[in-house]
Amino acid sequence: MSNSEIFIAFYTILRREIRRFTRIWPQTLLPPAITMSLYFAIFGNLIGSRIGQMGGFSYMQYIVPGLIMMSVITNSYSNVSSSFFSAKFQHSIQELLVSPTPNWVILVGYVLGGVARGLFVGGIVTILSLFFTHLHLQNLFLTIAVVCLTAIMFSLGGFVNAIYARNFDDVSIVPTFILTPLTYLGGVFYSIDLLPSFWQHVSLLNPVLYMVNAFRYGILGVSDINVYMALVIVGIFIVVLFTFGLHLLNKGKGIRS
């Protein structure tokens, strides 16, 4: 395929992915908007007003970056895992497999579809947060870089999950039993300075902690960790997951007999 044909194939996948999550918006866009509004109202306003300051900011301001990041992580992951698994389940993935679209384009197309949903939902949650507090960006470039890289990383994770999934339970196991605990324990609601020393060290093994803190640093200018270390960690995860995902596609794991 020529470069322009490859671009058309990529754009077709991306457009289809965006069309999918916007068509089923009551399942994809509305729930995170409602959930995050409740978080802002209950944890930020009601409980947060009694907690006082954290890291030099009001509790509401402190949790907003984490909650935005939580939405981005969850939505980018679940978009790719559910979309790719559905395509496998109803065999419509064969439409792509019989076509000359290279495997790396299939992977990039699905991943950027997940990134699009992650950023779209992140944008909605950011707008909603402005009804509860005010935000000022400390470092625009870092904020955008972290949120995009995180969305890419979790989209890749969702892709690998979908490749291995054999039924719908397999698609929900990772988000429920791995992703959610990692996110809740990843410094969304608290600074790890509040934890005993042992648990602070354990927390440093959680990759989500780095992303949440780097994003918080971009917005508020405070972080529990070295933000450049966070970028390196996300970068390594992206390279590893992309290589692994492409290897699985080339092998035809779960999609070719």
Partner 1 sequence: MTYAIEISDLKKRYEGGFEALKGISLNVEKGDFFALLGPNGAGKSTTIGILCSLVNKTSGKVSIFGADIDKDFAKAKQYLGVVPQEFNFNVFETVFNVVVTQAGFYGISNRVAEERAEKYLKQLDLWDKRNDQSRMLSGGMKRRLMIARALVHEPEVLILDEPTAGVDIELRRSMWEFIKNLNEQGTTIILTTHYLEEAEQLCRNIAIINSGQIVENTSVKALLKTLNQETFILDLDQSVSDDWHVDGYTTKLSKDLSTIEVEVIKGQSINHIFKALDEIGVNVISMRNKSNRLEELFVKLIKG
Contact positions toward partner 1, by CB under 8 A?
A: 1-2, 4-6, 8-9, 11-13, 15-16, 19-20, 23, 87, 90-92, 94-102, 252, 256-257
**Considering beta carbons, is residue 11 or 25 the nearer one to partner 1?**
11
Q: Looking at beta carbons only, is 5 or 193 nearer to partner 1? A: 5
Burial 68-78 (b: 16+ CB within 10 A, else e): bbbbbbbbbbb
Q: Is 1 or 236 the residue whose CB approaches partner 1 more closely?
A: 1
- Min dist CB 97 to partner 1, Å, is 6
CB of 10 to partner 1, least distance (A): 9
Nearest-approach distance from CB 23 to partner 1, in angstroms = 7
Closest CB to partner 1 among 166 and 256? 256
Rounded Cα–Cα distance for residues 85 and 105 (Å): 17
Nearest approach, Cβ of residue 144 and partner 1 (Å)? 29
**Shortest spacing between CB 84 and partner 1, in angstroms:** 12
CB 158 within 8 A of CB 81: yes
CB of 158 to partner 1, least distance (A): 18
Dihedral angle of Cα 151, 154, 159, 161, to the nearest 10 degrees: -160
Closer CB to partner 1, 201 or 256, in the complex: 256
Q: 163 is written with which tokens?
A: 């490749």
156 to each of 92, 93, 161, 194, how far by Cα in Å? 20, 17, 9, 32
- 195 secondary structure, DSSP code: S
Whichever of 36 and 165 has its CB closer to partner 1, that residue is: 165
Give the whole-angstrom CA distance, residue 88 versus residue 85: 5
- Report d(CA 121, CA 159) in Å as an integer: 19
